[in-house]
A = this chain, B = another copy of it.
Amino acid sequence: MNRYPIGIFDSGVGGTSIWKEIQKLLPNEDTIYLADSKNAPYGEKSAAQILQLSIKNTEFLLAKGCKIIVVACNTATTNAIDELRRNFKVPFIGIEPAIKPAALQSSSKTVGILATKGTLSSHLFHSTSENHAKGIRIIERDGFGLVPLIEEGKIESEEIRNLLQIYLKPMLEEGIDYLVLGCTHYPYLIPVLKELLPETVKIIDSGEAVARQTMSVLMANNLQKNSEEIGICTFYSNAEIEVLQSLLGGTDANMIVSFLDF
């Protein structure tokens, strides 16, 4: 199994923020990234629809021989990962909002979280908040409309800026000192967020922690690639591939980006 790739899927291009961290930590591993952009955003869909799409994505990656699956989408993790683990034999890595580190480090005991509706309303999100953020006020905001704009590549647009201003306002009024990004699309908004937030507010996402967790699970299962040779990274999208390419910041000889109608 060790030579086989790491599979990563997301409801679109956002999960590439997770892929980047995995590739940085494990540059020798082959990866296959699946962007289900045609069905983005998952955050507005029902739990049953999200599960159905997650199973389809997993089957696609397993058919390509993936040895582990990273569900690089908070909404798919919260709504489908338990069922995926019950139905398929490979290990699954999920994404959870980094509420715990934010809660531990917050001085104002007030933490903001920006995530999709599908994540905020999930059982997993509520139990995480209750267990890891006792005594902390959590100001939730549903980032409605952000994912579709990111999927269109409008990362630094006026529309994004206006939506973010609306979503951040109540958080700033409540005095947050940490903003948790609870959707893998949102790290691409960090440059704009930094302009809109005072310097005292720190931004946390889950990318690095997920990469470390992937490494640890590969090692525990003896699934890590033994060769030091740099890995091949393949990307499939069922929408136009220009936005994907631009978020990847260009491609090199070890990267293949293809359109595929799935």
Contacts and interface: CB of A to CB of B under 8 A. Distances in A.
B213 A91 contact: no
Copies of this chain assembled into the complex: 2
Contacts of A222: 85-86, 92
Nearest to A86: B222
A195 to B, nearest CB: 29
Contacts of A220: 68, 85, 91-93, 213, 217
Interface residues of A, number: 13
A39 to B, nearest CB: 25
Contacts of A92: 220, 222
A216 interface: yes
A227 interface: no
Interface in A81-138: 85-86, 91-93
Contacts of A254: none
A142 to B, nearest CB: 26
A246 interface: no
A29 to B, nearest CB: 16
Contacts of A217: 91, 216-217, 220-221
Nearest to A221: B91
Interface in A66-87: 68, 85-86
A39 B221 CA distance: 28
A23 to B, nearest CB: 17
Contacts of A86: 222
